[in-house]
Amino acid sequence: MKRVFTAFIFLLIFNLNAQVGGENIYGFLNVSSSARQAALGGEVLTAYDDVNQPLWNPSTINKEMDNQLSVSYVDFLADVNYGSLAYAHLFSRRLGVLHAGVTYVNYGKFIGADENGVETGSFSAGDLALSVGYAYKIPNSHIYAGANVKWINSHIENYTSNGLAADVGLTYFNDAKPYIFTAVIRNIGHQISAYDETKETLPLDVAVGASYKAENVPLQWHFTVNSLQQWDVSAENPSDSETSIDGETTNDQITFLGNAIRHVTIGAELFPDKGFNIRLGYNFRRGRELRLTESRTFAGLSAGFGLKMGRLKLNYAFTKYHPASNTNTFTLNIDLSKPTF
């Protein structure tokens, strides 16, 4: 089983194609539905004790996730419903833990019209991804290798699209050390069937992450650098433009440092091992691109908490994906291994 799994990972890596700019399909795969992850900036890869984390980093799958169930709901923009379900089960010591997940987006109802503006009725749109993941410890080391396989479906009215993707990751974890390091390649794959005759690329993401738990302070730091497959991730923000007396508008030039910082997300978790946690995060790319000159939007900033009650744990996150709207994320974790609540 382990030899087959290792060969599978190497095949995925060698078939990896670089992406530089352009439009991608299935963008919902890069939006976090976990309240804990969202509160820590939305890009965390090192939440080793969270059954939701393997949806983004399969190498974090471990036996401590056995019989852990999680349900998440995101009150997203413009009444879009976004959510996920995650579950892990230890089948045997030899086979290890298998992780399964479902991610969905419901965009709601829309009014259709023809080229003349005549209404033709309502239609719906939605996305769905089903994933199965597995990880194992490399012998004589503290390195874990993991992979997810994902089937993806998207529909708009009577048009549908299907895709197949995978995530691969490596994580260094030693429970005697206060730090964790990881590297992940997400959304390696292809669009199997397109809406029309043109196939699009998937939202590939190459990222590295680390976390550090302070020794004398109940604080754990999370640090992520994403989109390593594409250096220039900057986008012009109209708030950075200047208009001359002649009416000519020019945009500020994005510097090397300005582009580099857009790859970074940081998060901090206070009281990480207690029944009540407080979390803060900052996504530099989101904060810069949603910034408004004449008002404070708090874009890029996220916050949340976790509350443990017996076999239940409720996580909440407040984030801003748009200057004019707030996003609330709720996650309920259930420990099915405990006999009572």
Q: Residue 129 is part of a domain; what is its CATH number?
A: 2.40.160
In the prediction, which pLDDT does 7 show?
A: 37
What is the structure's pLDDT at 255? 83
Residue 254 confidence class, pLDDT cut points 50, 70, 90: confident
Asked whether residue 294 is domain-assigned, the answer is yes
Instruction: Report the domain count for the chain.
Output: 1
> Could you tell me where the beta strands, DSSP code E, fall in the chain?
68-75, 81-92, 96-113, 119-137, 143-156, 159-173, 179-193, 205-213, 219-225, 241-243, 249-251, 264-270, 276-283, 301-309, 312-322, 325-335
Report whether 293 contacts 280 (CB < 8 A).
Answer: no
Q: Does residue 160 carry a pLDDT above 50?
A: yes
Interval 158-178 mean pLDDT: 95
Determine, yes or no, domain membership for 330: yes
Q: What is the mean pLDDT of residues 311-340?
A: 88
What local confidence, expressed as pLDDT, does residue 122 receive? 87
DSSP 42-67: S-----TT-TTGGGT-GGG--GGGTT
Residue 341 lies in a domain: no
Predicted pLDDT of residue 264: 96
State the pLDDT at residue 14.
Answer: 35
pLDDT at 247: 57
Q: Of 58-62, 225-229, 248-252, 304-308, give the lowest mean pLDDT range.
A: 248-252
Work out the percent of the chain whose per-residue pLDDT is above 70.
Answer: 85
In a domain, residue 299? The reply is yes
Under 8 Å CB-to-CB from 12, ≥6 apart: which residues? 147, 166, 168, 185, 188
Q: Is residue 309 part of a domain?
A: yes
For residue 273, tell me if it sits in a domain.
yes
Q: What one-letter code names the amino acid at 330?
A: F
What tokens does 262 get?
A: 């857009």
- Per-residue pLDDT at 243 exceeds 80: no
The per-residue pLDDT for 294 is 63
pLDDT above 90: residue 258: no
pLDDT, position 119: 84
- Given this model, what pLDDT does residue 197 score? 79
φ, ψ of residue 3 to 5 degrees: the values are -65, -40
How many Å apart are CA 75 and CA 86, to the nearest integer?
18
Percent of the chain with pLDDT over 90: 62
Q: Residues 202-206: contacts with CB within 8 Å, 24+ apart?
A: 202/24, 202/25, 202/26, 202/29, 202/163, 202/165, 203/24, 203/25, 203/26, 203/27, 203/29, 203/30, 204/16, 204/17, 204/19, 204/24, 204/229, 205/30, 205/229
Question: Model confidence at 4, in pLDDT bands (50, 70, 90)?
Answer: very low
Confidence of residue 18 (pLDDT cuts 50, 70, 90): very low
Q: Which domain holds residue 162?
A: 2-18+33-111+121-241+248-335
Structural domain contains residue 78? yes
Residues paired with 207 in a beta bridge: 184
**Segment 297-322 mean pLDDT:** 90
Look over the chain and give the mean of its residue pLDDT values, rounded to a whole number.
Answer: 86
Q: Which pLDDT score is estimated for 293?
A: 63
Least confident segment among 33-37, 106-110, 165-169, 222-226? 106-110
Q: Is residue 340 situated within a structural domain?
A: no
Beta bridge partners of 269: 220, 279
pLDDT at 340 exceeding the cut of 80: no
Mean pLDDT of 292-306: 81
pLDDT at 28: 92
Confidence of residue 250 (pLDDT cuts 50, 70, 90): low
